[in-house]
Each structure stands twice: as structure tokens, then as C-alpha cells.
Amino acid sequence: MALTPSTMLALGTYMPRFDLPQVTGGRLNSQSLVDRPVLLMVLCAHCPFVKHVEPELTRLDHDFSDGVHLVGVSSNSLITHPQDGLEQLADQARRHGWSFPYLLDRQQTLAQALRAACTPEFYLFSPNGEGLQTLRYRGQLDGSRPGNDQPLDGRDLRAALDAVLKGSPVNPEQTASVGCNVKWNPGQEPEWFG
């Protein structure tokens, strides 16, 4: 496990287009998510940092799913980390009662477009009035980490979600998420990573 910070993709970046399989079957296309804000969450099944935030992800799903499209995505290599396969991801979602779609980014194209570096990592996009979703927040859920005794309350991400839903500006002072590094397919590590 390498402790890795997010790359902090530039605010205002357009949401990448994607069409990916869901771990429970079917596919999800980004074009179906244009009507309201979208929270893309880079997750996986085995990372201790993701395991630590799972209870708050369940609360976010409950509190915000009516106004925001929450979408989980796992981009870890299944060649090197088969423990992040479809069955394990589906079991993770089932155990925590997640209702949001959970996608498998097997070719890692969405992770590369987001410049995702770690799990968990969060990207909040909102419609810009021209039919495009633009990045308003990227960074940490909150200051809680395994073993640091900080409250797991999602305060940073919740503040951004509340601002977007009210049509208010999101505070541009945003703290990078940290966690386990994204596990790239052998020979596919992006040039900007690491």
C-alpha cells in the first residue's frame, strides 16, 4: 500500500464521457446523467482507506441520492488485484446497502481521464447551463483517516454538495484526498502518475 494524494484535477474540467458496465449488470452512460449534479467516487473493495469511509458513503447515498447522481467506479487492475473484481464489488455494495450505480472501469479509461491517483477519490460535477457537467469539487471526504481519531462525517464533501445544490459557489480551497494508489494494469501506468 502506497499512501498517495489525489492529483487535484483542475476545477472547471468537463466530466469525461463514459459507458461502463455496472457490477450488478447493465451499463451506465454519462449521457444519461446530464439532468443534475454527478458525484463520481473512485472506490475499490480491498483498500483500507475505502473500508474506513464506507459508513459515510452509505449516509451520503441516503442523504443526497434524490438531488445528485452518485456513481461509484472501481478502476484497479484485475490482473494484479483480482480482489476488486465484479463479485467483490457487488458484495461490498450489497453489504453497505448502496443504491448508487457501481461501475467497473476495466480498461482504466475513466480513471485516466480523471487523473485519478488514489482510492477513495471524489469528483463533484454540476451542469453548467450548456448541457455539460463541470468539475466543482475534487478532494477529500473529510479529515478522517484510519487510526487518526478524526470524525467520519463527510464535512468537506457535504459542504460542496450543499453549495452545488443551492446554486452557490463551492469553496475553491480544497484538500486532496489520500489513500491507496490506483492499481494500474501492468505497463499502463499513465506518464503523469507517480
Instruction: Tell me the pairing of strands 118-119 and 38-43.
Output: unpaired
Higher pLDDT among residues 90 and 128, named by residue: 90
How many domains is the chain partitioned into structurally?
Answer: 1
**Cα→Cα distances 180→43, 50, 57, 149, Å:** 10, 9, 17, 19
- Whether residue 159 lies inside any domain: the answer is yes
**Mean pLDDT score, 124-146:** 91
In 6-91, where do the E strands start and end? 19-21, 27-29, 38-43, 69-74
Look over the chain and give the mean of its residue pLDDT values, rounded to a whole number: 93
List, for residues 4-36, the tens digit of each pLDDT value: 888 899 999 999 999 999 999 999 999 999 889
Rounded to whole angstroms, how far apart are CA atoms 130 and 35?
11
Could you give the count of Cα atoms lying within 13 Å of 127 in the half-sphere of its Cβ? 16
Instruction: Name the pLDDT band for 192 (thresholds 50, 70, 90).
Output: low
Residue 29 lies in a domain: yes
Domain harbouring 62, CATH code: 3.40.30.10
Is position 187 within any domain?
no
pLDDT, one tens digit per residue, over 38-84 is 999 999 999 999 999 999 999 999 999 999 999 999 999 999 999 99
Confirm whether 84 is domain-assigned.
Answer: yes
pTM (predicted TM-score)? 0.95
Q: Which domain range does residue 131 map to? A: 3-181
pLDDT value at 1 more than 60: no
